[in-house]
Structure 1
Amino acid sequence: MSSLFAALTSFPAVVYTVLLGVVLVYWLLAIIGLVDFEAGADVDIGADAADAGDAGDIGDAGDGGPEGLSGLAAWLVAFGLNGVPFSIVVSLLALVGWFLTGMASLTLLPLVPDALRWAAGAGVLLAAAALSIVIAAQLVRPMRGLFVTHRAISNAALVGQVCKVLTGVVDERQGRAEVAQRGAGINIRVWAPAPNSLRRGDAALITEYDPARQRYRIDALPPDHA
Structure 2
Amino acid sequence: MDVFILIIASYPVAVFTSLLLVVVIYWLIAILGLIDIDTLDLPEIDADAELDSLEGLTGVAGFLIKLGFQGIPVMVILSLLTLVAWWTSYFCVWLLPFALNGIWKLVLGTAILITSFIFALLITRFLVIPLKPLFRKNTARSKRSFLGQAVVIRSSRVDEHFGQAEFNDAGAGLILNIRAKTPNQLKKNDRVILLEYLEKDHVYLVIPERDFY
Distance 2:26 2:63 in 1: 23
Distance 1:149 1:196 in 2: 29
Distance 1:165 1:143 in 2: 28
Distance 1:4 1:98, change over 3 A: same
Deviates more, 1:128-137 or 1:9-18: 128-137
Check whether the contact 1:81–1:137 (CA below 8 A) recurs between aligned residues: yes
Distance 1:138 1:217 in 2: 37
Hey, what does 1:18 align to over in structure 2?
A: 18
Distance 1:32 1:188 in 2: 14
Quick one: which of 213, 222, 226 aligns to 2:210? 222
Distance 1:88 1:123, change over 3 A: same
Quick one: which of 136, 139, 147 aligns to 1:149? 139
Equivalent positions of 1:2-13 (< 5 A) are: 2-13=2-13
Distance 1:104 1:111 in 2: 12
Structure 2 counterpart of 1:90, one-letter code: L
SS at match of 2:129: helix
Shift of the alpha carbon at 1:127?
1.2
Quick one: which of 94, 97, 102 aligns to 2:82? 94
Structure 2 counterpart of 1:81, one-letter code: F
Distance 2:37 2:30 in 1: 6
Hey, what does 2:151 align to over in structure 1?
A: 164
- RMSD across aligned positions (CA): 3.5
Structure 2 counterpart of 1:27, one-letter code: W
- What percentage of aligned pairs have identical amino acids? 23
Hey, what does 2:127 align to over in structure 1?
A: 139
Hey, what does 1:197 align to over in structure 2?
A: 186
Could you give the per-residue CA deviations for residues 75-110 of structure 1, whole angstroms, max 9, x where no partner exists? 323223333322222211111111111111112373
SS at match of 1:118: helix
Structure 1 counterpart of 2:11, one-letter code: F
Distance 1:176 1:66 in 2: 36
SS at match of 1:149: helix
Tell me, which stretches of 5 or more residues in structure 2 are unaligned? none
SS at match of 2:207: strand
Distance 1:33 1:21, change over 3 A: same
Deviates more, 1:11-20 or 1:111-120: 111-120
| Match status 1:106 vs 2:94 | yes
Deviates more, 1:20-29 or 1:71-80: 71-80
Distance 1:20 1:105 in 2: 17
SS at match of 1:89: helix
Structure 1 counterpart of 2:66, one-letter code: A
Hey, what does 1:57 align to over in structure 2?
A: none
Shift of the alpha carbon at 1:117?
0.9
Hey, what does 2:41 align to over in structure 1?
A: 43
Tell me, which stretches of 5 or more residues in structure 1 are unaligned? 53-62
SS at match of 1:92: helix
TM-score, length basis structure 1: 0.69
Distance 1:119 1:179, change over 3 A: same
Equivalent positions of 1:42-61 (< 5 A) are: 42-45=40-43, 48-49=44-45
